[in-house]
């Protein structure tokens, strides 16, 4: 069974870039059956889809975040990554990486999540 | 404001059944049979409990069931148990340039 693990700094200063990596174990990120996605959850609020990537590098983004985010994949390391540019306090959240069925769009495997706080 | 509308809270007593609605539009829930539901306990990652409107993943109790009518999907939990107390989120594919939309979440309280 695949497992996902997020990693990255827990504290980012305003206006800087938030960078996170998700490491996939127990399965290949190059499986054609899945997208690999980032979701975030601000404190006390609901889930927000950020974007997802196919192993080929094709990306899909939430239109409300599209100008400030980049998702990339490194198949050699079985990892995918997220960058959020010019962060503000509103980007403070728990960030989850997930596996998404390419055909039915359900998120069947989730990482445990990592908390990122934007503060000076 | 979330793209899919869920009630903020629902409650029920042990043994009872409850239903959580998830209302979208003809651009998402109404067109695509790919609604999924997630259960989230406090401090934990969401857990996938329903996919393709009414299918249960292996290992998920048959007390959880899903359905859809028009632009509204629903999650029903029967035989409520204390451990069902959690937040529940619906999600749908939305096509176009939107791709994925979540509901705002519903807090289930087991009285």
**Do B45 and A104 make contact, defined as CB atoms within 8 angstroms?**
no
Helix/strand/coil (H/E/C) assignment for every residue in A61-86: ECCCCCCCEEEEEECCCCEEEEEECC
Per-residue confidence (pLDDT) for residue B82, from 0 to 100: 97
Q: Give Rg (Cα) of chain A.
A: 13
Nearest chain A residue to B58 by CA distance is A108
Most A CBs within 10 Å: which of B34, B95, B100, as the mutation test of the A interface?
Answer: B100
Encode pLDDT of B13-67 as tens digits.
999 999 999 999 999 999 999 999 999 999 999 999 999 999 999 999 999 999 9
* Percentages of chain A per state (helix, strand, coil), in multiples of 5: 0, 50, 45
Per-residue confidence (pLDDT) for residue A87, from 0 to 100: 98
Which residues of chain B lie closer than 8 angstroms to A113, CB-CB? 45
Encode pLDDT of A15-60 as tens digits.
999 999 999 999 999 988 999 999 999 999 999 999 999 999 999 9
Per-residue confidence (pLDDT) for residue A52, from 0 to 100: 95
**Euclidean distance between CA atoms B48 and B65, whole angstroms:** 13
**Euclidean distance between CA atoms B4 and B16, whole angstroms:** 26
Nearest chain B residue to A48 by CA distance is B102
How far lies B36's CA from each of A45, B1, B23, B67, B73, in Å? 19, 19, 13, 10, 9
CA A78, A109, A27 angle in degrees (round to 5)?
A: 35
Per-residue confidence (pLDDT) for residue B98, from 0 to 100: 75
Handedness of CA B27, A32, A94, B111 (dihedral sign): positive
Encode pLDDT of B67-83 as tens digits.
999 999 999 999 999 99
Beta carbons of A57 and A74 less than 8 angstroms apart: no
A-B contacts at Cβ under 8 angstroms: 63
């Amino acid at each position: 069974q695949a497992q996902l693990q997020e990693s990255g700094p827990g504290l980012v200063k305003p206006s800087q870039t938030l960078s996170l990596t998700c490491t996939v174990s127990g399965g290949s990120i190059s499986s054609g059956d899945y997208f690999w996605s980032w979701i975030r959850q601000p404190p006390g609020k609901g889930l927000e889809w950020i974007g997802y990537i196919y192993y080929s590098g094709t990306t899909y983004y939430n239109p409300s975040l599209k100008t400030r985010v980049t998702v990339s994949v490194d198949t050699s390391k079985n990892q995918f990554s997220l960058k959020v540019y010019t962060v503000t306090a509103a980007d403070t959240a728990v960030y989850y990486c997930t596996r998404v069925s390419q055909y039915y769009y359900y998120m069947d495997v989730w990482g445990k999540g990592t908390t990122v706080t934007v503060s000076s | 404001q979330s793209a899919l509308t869920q009630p903020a809270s629902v409650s029920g007593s042990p043994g009872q059944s409850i239903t959580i609605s998830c209302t979208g539009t003809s651009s998402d829930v109404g067109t695509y049979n790919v609604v999924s539901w997630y259960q989230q306990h406090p401090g934990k990652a969401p857990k996938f409990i329903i996919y393709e409107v009414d299918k249960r993943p292996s290992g998920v109790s048959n007390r959880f069931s899903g359905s859809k009518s028009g632009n509204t999907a629903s999650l029903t939990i029967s035989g409520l148990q204390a451990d069902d107390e959690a937040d529940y989120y619906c999600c749908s594919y939305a096509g176009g340039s939107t791709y994925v939309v979540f509901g705002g979440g519903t807090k289930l309280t087991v009285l």
